[in-house]
Structure 1
Amino acid sequence: MLGFYHPKTWKEKGLWWTLGLFLITYLIVVLALGLYWSNEPDTFDVSENAKLKAEETKTSIVPGFTTTATLINVANTLLDKPGGYLSNDVTPPGVYLDNIPEWEFGVLVQIRDMARTFRNDFSRSQSQSTEDKDLIIAEPHFNFDSESWLFPPTETEYRTSIKALDRYLLRLSDPKQMNAQFYARADNLRDWLAQVEKRLGSLSQRLSASVGQENLNLGLAGDSSAQQSTPTPSQQYTKTPWTQIDNVFYEARGQSWALLHFLKAVETDFAPVLDKKNARISLQQIIRELESTQQTIWSPMILNGNGFGFVTNHSLIMASYLSRANAAVIDLRRLLEQG
């Protein structure tokens, strides 16, 4: 086989044979890289990650350390997984891949939500308090265009956010730096879970639309005086185009992957709050449902069977897990609201 790549063989076989050899070799390499880059990253232990981060920075683990370290590692994984960050690629094989870029966008949505929560809630004692100087940098840079290839590339902006979070983490664990705080309060956790609830609800609806469904308009339900800007039909049929079914599925899988880690980190940092409300078991139920979304996909493609048909429907299975997780989030928020 190696003899095919010897200059003597090229000379004997001629120009067209040599060009064909290089074309076939190129296609094989691109295909192999594409298959390798399409593997989703494994989950990681958030507690072990926090310990390693504390050892690396020579600091101690304080309330908020685990959640901050988890956010940093999730963002690093987004950029440094096999193939790197693919959503802004303009060359093969990244430009031909669509499942992993959708997975990346799902992870990015949860990173953005968590960074916003850090800036607005976790790091502030009250609504009139000053925002943290590093989180002011981290949050907007994560909201930079996810598909910018150059001037500047997306990766540069996201690494700026990661560096800002690293500085915040160092100040957070330094007892002399009292201007960096993480407030593990029930109301802060409840506000973040409200965002999680909306994300999971939206994903469940989009996944369920893979088979098409008639939806009633509930926009003004429960308020007789409510108004909306433009009239909409009382019923509306929604169905995801078949070309978008796998995109929605992998976006949901990416959001679930990131959210799974954040919830495990929150279980550590908000442990006293959860135990006081006897709510830890509710959080663990959410985690269990999200762990189910990360099972290995044995099918070479995302199947879209119809209802109780002969072929399975991966989107409906994912929607089932996320709906149960969403129901558990609602229950957890109610527990946290109780005195």
Structure 2
Amino acid sequence: MTSRRLRAARRREQLEKPQYGWIWKPLLVLLIAALVVMAGLGIWWNMTPRAFDVEAATEQQRGSLVLDKRGAVSVATLKQLLDTLQDKPGGYLRDDILPPGLVMDNMPSWEWGVLRQSQVMSHSLATLDPQGAPSIESLDAVMRGNADNWLISSTGKQLKTARGQVNDYLQAFSESGSGAFEASGKGMADWLAAARTELTPVTERLSASVGDADMLRELGIEVPESADVAWYRVDNDLHQARGQAWALLHLMEAMLRDQRDVITAAGMLQQWQRVQAELQRTQRHLWSPVVLRGSGFGVFANYPLTMAHHLTRIDESLVELEAGLAAAPDMPQDQAGGKQSTEAAQPQPGSSGGEGQQLDSEQHSTPEATGAGGESTEPEEESTGAGKESTGAEKESTGDEGEPAETSSEQHS
């Protein structure tokens, strides 16, 4: 009798207070599956996009347009950078409010670096092309928006608008008499100065992260207050620097394709290529999943120190480029506003470069002016002999261009 009552009481208790101990198992499985998916997406989305060929990007953006003017490659490369920010795996992650983009920081920092250099380039278009289309001003206004907006006007929407503005400006390169960079180094000098200004703060923060800021000040090394960054945010600065260097590498390659004759005439070609090589070194693969900060000659490397070293060398080279391009004389505009031939800017075999040929032609074309000055020139026989000896060299250096070497020697004789 008692046992029956106990069994009945237990049944009533089970019905009134059921046990749900089995529910936590599927919930745990779902949680683990979600974590695995988010981790996989985080690894995939965190992969840096590969470098692209600026000429191939120009062909891709070209379509039915005729892009043979000076500056077309640079504008097409700018559009490709904006396309990369949106079309890469995960899209633009900096304004995400859901995981895994919400908890990621390396790729958003890289995006911020690419966006900063893209903003610099879009702002410098007005200097590079003073006669450009009105879309330059609207493009600059769109690109200057807050990169962290996600509610009212998200950065993703701003990037879409900016892509449309760049495309409109790129179409101007197919119209006659519009859309072409000036054949002058001053516009490039201003652009390089602005790009270097963006790199300077991140270089200071990476340099200051190597040691204690107070200790550096005691050693006489000035460290700005803005360079004092917490240790857990140093990786953000590293990836931001990599993003800026990645974008600047492509933009400098594109500008070299557009303005090679100007750069060569200013004598800055080797310096330009030196900056490109240093930017390329900043894109080497990171072999550690975390940013290592070793000390001295320890076992582990120091990634911030290495990056700061490269950025410092880049800064020094950019200063020399700015000075060289700003001091270079303006070159005449092309008749059609297009690019000048890059082969003409390069020195021919057997000659000392375009500048040497120009000096030789001036010396041969002004013998009367020299004589009119009242100064005595070389004896006639020596002058005639020198002209005969230089006939072969002038043939090799001038080719089919200019006057024959025999004619020049006859004029001297």
Taking structure 2 as the reference length, the TM-score comes to: 0.69
Give the C-alpha shift of residue 333 in structure 1: 1.9
User: For residue 56 of structure 2, what is the aligned residue in structure 1?
Assistant: 48
* Equivalent position to 1:84, from 91, 94, 110: 91
User: Does the 8 A contact of 2:129 with 2:181 survive in 1?
Assistant: yes
User: Does the 8 A contact of 2:116 with 2:198 survive in 1?
Assistant: no
Give the C-alpha shift of residue 152 in structure 1: 2.1
User: Does the 8 A contact of 1:200 with 1:323 survive in 2?
Assistant: no
**CA distance in structure 1 between the partners assigned to 2:222 and 2:292 by the alignment:** 31
User: For residue 163 of structure 2, what is the aligned residue in structure 1?
Assistant: 162
* AA matched with 1:25: A
Query: Cα gap change, 1:235/1:282 in structure 2, threshold over 3 Å: closer, same or farther?
Result: closer
* AA matched with 2:110: W
User: For residue 310 of structure 2, what is the aligned residue in structure 1?
Assistant: 321
Where structure 2 has 5 or more consecutive residues not aligned to the other structure, the ranges are 1-20, 330-413
* AA matched with 1:163: G
User: Does the 8 A contact of 2:204 with 2:223 survive in 1?
Assistant: no
**CA distance in structure 2 between the partners assigned to 1:234 and 1:207 by the alignment:** 14
* Equivalent position to 1:109, from 116, 120, 130: 116
For residues 141-188 of structure 1, the C-alpha deviation after alignment (integer angstroms, 9 at most, x for no partner) is 11212122222221111111110110111112222xx34332241111
User: Does the 8 A contact of 1:210 with 1:315 survive in 2?
Assistant: yes
For residues 237-292 of structure 1, the C-alpha deviation after alignment (integer angstroms, 9 at most, x for no partner) is 86431111101101101100000000001101111101111211111110000000
User: For residue 10 of structure 1, what is the aligned residue in structure 2?
Assistant: none
Secondary structure, counterpart of 1:243 in structure 2: helix
**CA distance in structure 2 between the partners assigned to 1:331 and 1:206 by the alignment:** 23
* AA matched with 2:117: Q
Secondary structure, counterpart of 1:73 in structure 2: helix
User: For residue 186 of structure 2, what is the aligned residue in structure 1?
Assistant: 187
**CA distance in structure 2 between the partners assigned to 1:179 and 1:71 by the alignment:** 19
**CA distance in structure 2 between the partners assigned to 1:248 and 1:164 by the alignment:** 30
User: For residue 153 of structure 2, what is the aligned residue in structure 1?
Assistant: 152
Q: Verify: 1:270 aligned to 2:259, yes or no.
A: yes
* Equivalent position to 2:277, from 245, 265, 288: 288
For residues 115-157 of structure 1, the C-alpha deviation after alignment (integer angstroms, 9 at most, x for no partner) is 10013x01205xxxxx631111111111212122222221111
Q: How does 1:1-339 map to 2 (within 5 A)?
A: 14-54=22-62, 56-119=63-126, 121-124=127-130, 132-175=133-176, 178-212=177-211, 213=213, 214-215=216-217, 239-336=228-325, 337-339=327-329
Taking structure 1 as the reference length, the TM-score comes to: 0.84
Give the C-alpha shift of residue 102 in structure 1: 0.6
Secondary structure, counterpart of 2:111 in structure 1: helix
Where structure 1 has 5 or more consecutive residues not aligned to the other structure, the ranges are 1-12, 126-130, 219-232
* AA matched with 1:91: L
Secondary structure, counterpart of 2:66 in structure 1: coil
Give the C-alpha shift of residue 320 in structure 1: 1.0
Give the C-alpha shift of residue 78 in structure 1: 0.9
* AA matched with 1:140: A
**CA distance in structure 2 between the partners assigned to 1:215 and 1:45 by the alignment:** 44
Give the C-alpha shift of residue 338 in structure 1: 4.2
**CA distance in structure 2 between the partners assigned to 1:112 and 1:49 by the alignment:** 19
| Percent of matched pairs sharing the same residue | 32
**Which one has the largest radius of gyration?**
2
* AA matched with 2:194: Q
Give the C-alpha shift of residue 62 in structure 1: 1.5
User: For residue 223 of structure 1, what is the aligned residue in structure 2?
Assistant: none
Cα RMSD for the two superposed structures = 2.3
Give the C-alpha shift of residue 87 in structure 1: 0.3
Query: Cα gap change, 1:135/1:289 in structure 2, threshold over 3 Å: closer, same or farther?
Result: same
User: Does the 8 A contact of 1:211 with 1:307 survive in 2?
Assistant: no
Query: Cα gap change, 1:144/1:199 in structure 2, threshold over 3 Å: closer, same or farther?
Result: closer
* AA matched with 2:33: T
Greater RCO (CA < 8 Å, at least 6 residues apart): 1
Q: How many residues align?
A: 304
* AA matched with 2:306: I
For residues 44-90 of structure 1, the C-alpha deviation after alignment (integer angstroms, 9 at most, x for no partner) is 01112112222x23323311100000000001101111000000101
* AA matched with 1:20: L
Secondary structure, counterpart of 2:79 in structure 1: helix
User: For residue 5 of structure 1, what is the aligned residue in structure 2?
Assistant: none
* AA matched with 1:105: W
**CA distance in structure 2 between the partners assigned to 1:332 and 1:241 by the alignment:** 34
